[in-house]
Each structure stands twice: as structure tokens, then as C-alpha cells.
Structure 1
Amino acid sequence: MNRYFHGRIQSFRFAFRGLRTLFRETPNARIELVMALLAVALGFLLHISATEWLAICIVIGMVPACEALNTAIERLSDYVSQHQKHPIIRKVKDVAAAGVLIAAIAALAVGILIFLPKLVALL
């Protein structure tokens, strides 16, 4: 195998190692994974449309992606400022966390818009 393909395979190994780290060491990521699985199960149970699946898939990808970036920023910030608290580091971490919150709110809105009418119709 040439060096190019070996490098690409190695980059996937690093990414999967990052996923393991994210879900093992970040409680919020595990909660988000459970919510994603619940959304997928509801999607199958309620027979959502292809367009609705598209929206669900986008937000399912968006939330953990934001969580991964937030976690990376937090870890790097903590490492850089081990011995001192710095107001800029605090702001960076707060803004990164806000990104996850924005993604989670968008995912919740998509879930409500798709699932609530279908659940109400069942009752």
C-alpha cells in the first residue's frame, strides 16, 4: 500500500479514536447519543418522510460534531492555562459551549416540528 493511502487510513484511525474518547469521557456526548438513537427509533416508528429524515440526520450529525469541537477547545484551553485562570480562556470556552447549545436547540426544534404533530395524531 502506498504512503498516501496509508496516511488516509491512519487519519481514519485517529478520528475513530477521537470518537471513542468523546463518548467515553464526555457525559454530554453520551446523552446526545441516546437522544439521537431515540430520534432514529421514533423516525422508524412514526414513518417519517425522506425530507424529515434528512433534517433529523443533519441535526444528529451537527450536535455531536459541535460537542467534539467544544471538547477539543476545552481540553486545549485547560492544558494551555493549567496554572492560571485567564478571562480570555473562559470566554473561549463559554463561546464553544454556546455553539453546542445552539446546535442542541436547533435539534430540539427539528424534533418537535417533526415528531410532535405525529405523536399528537396518534392520541
Structure 2
Amino acid sequence: MKTKDVIATLAALAQESRLAVYRLLVQAGPEGLAASRIADQLDIPPSSLSFHLKELMHADMVVQKKAGRSLIYSANYQTMNALLGFLTENCCGGNPCSKDGKANCSIKEGVSP
């Protein structure tokens, strides 16, 4: 993932409603949710939700598909994983993370945290 794409993705998520929408879509899984269900569950007016979904789609965090007359939105897991990979690729100077997901960083002698 390129730095400019990371910045656009993080900017899209740096808003309370968009972050809530994205988290809901991640929880919903690949089948996604109709816009009306997202609006109902998060109590977001449809016009505001439309704006937020467009911002998330512009950042490639959300994909849209048509199902009959409904638009179904789902999280773009490929972009999410690329973002996480970008953020952690140089974790602890290349030291691997432990199995419990915590970084296995060792503090150099004489250097305080």
C-alpha cells in the first residue's frame, strides 16, 4: 500500500460515523448490509449515511453491490489487511510479534522507554 493511499484510508476512518459504519460492516462479514439496515442500526439519517459511504468507497474501504433494488455495502477486507500490513510491516525493527498478538519488542540496554 502506498503512503498516499494509507493517508486517504486513515482520513476516511477518522470520523466517528464513518468509523462506526466501517466497524459495523466488518462485523456483518462479506455478505454486508443494505444501506437502510446500516442507517437503522447506527441511527444515521440516510442523506448523511450516503455521504459517509461515498467517503469510505472513495478510500476503497467499502464495496457496493446491487441486490435487486437494494444496495449492499460490505467492508473491503483486502484494503483493511493491506492497511494493517502497512502499519505493522516495520513493527519493532523487524522482530516478530508473539502468538498472542503483542509485539515482541526488546528494549536496548541503556535506553529507557
- TM tier, shorter chain? under 0.3
TM-score by length of 1: 0.24
Which structure shows the higher strand fraction? 2
Higher helix share: 1
The TM-score with structure 2 as length reference comes to: 0.26
Q: Which has the higher contact order (CA 8 A, sep 6+)?
A: 1
